[in-house]
Amino acid sequence: MVDSLISQVVQGRSVSAVIGRLAVRSLLEDGYFAGTVLKPFTNNWMATFEKCLTNAAVSGDLREYPTTPHLSAWLLHHIALGLILHVSPRNPTDYKVPKHTLVRETVRFALRGIGLREEPIKRHYNSRFACEVEK
């Protein structure tokens, strides 16, 4: 789920990029559009992510709950939103790495931030975006 979210942002898929830009503008003003756009995210993605995080805790894959699953989901979303701000302009931030590396390292950073242990990250995480680039 995390890889999919970050990959969409970094790849700049047309719909995601446009909605992201509009949401950022909205957040800088009254936030109404952003709130409307985020409602499906809040209702679906976040609920699923929270369940995954709870299951990871039960299985012992989390170091600890650094925060609540709900807040972890929001903070993860905000990492993606921050990336939108830096990869979307005509002159995007030069991270000096290929896009697949940016996706992989951002996802690994986020997974560590939500408390996932290094072992399950190494065992389970394989960036789909990196696999697409390598084909």
Least confident of 2-6, 15-19, 58-62: 15-19
Least confident of 13-27, 38-52, 87-101, 117-131: 13-27
The answer to whether 26 touches 32, Cβ cutoff 8 Å, is: yes
Per the listing, tokens 């990871």 go with: 56
The model's pLDDT over 74-131, given as tens digits with 9 standing for 90+, comes to 898 889 888 888 888 889 899 999 999 999 999 999 999 999 999 999 998 987 655 5
pTM summary value = 0.83
Token pair for residue 92? 């995007």
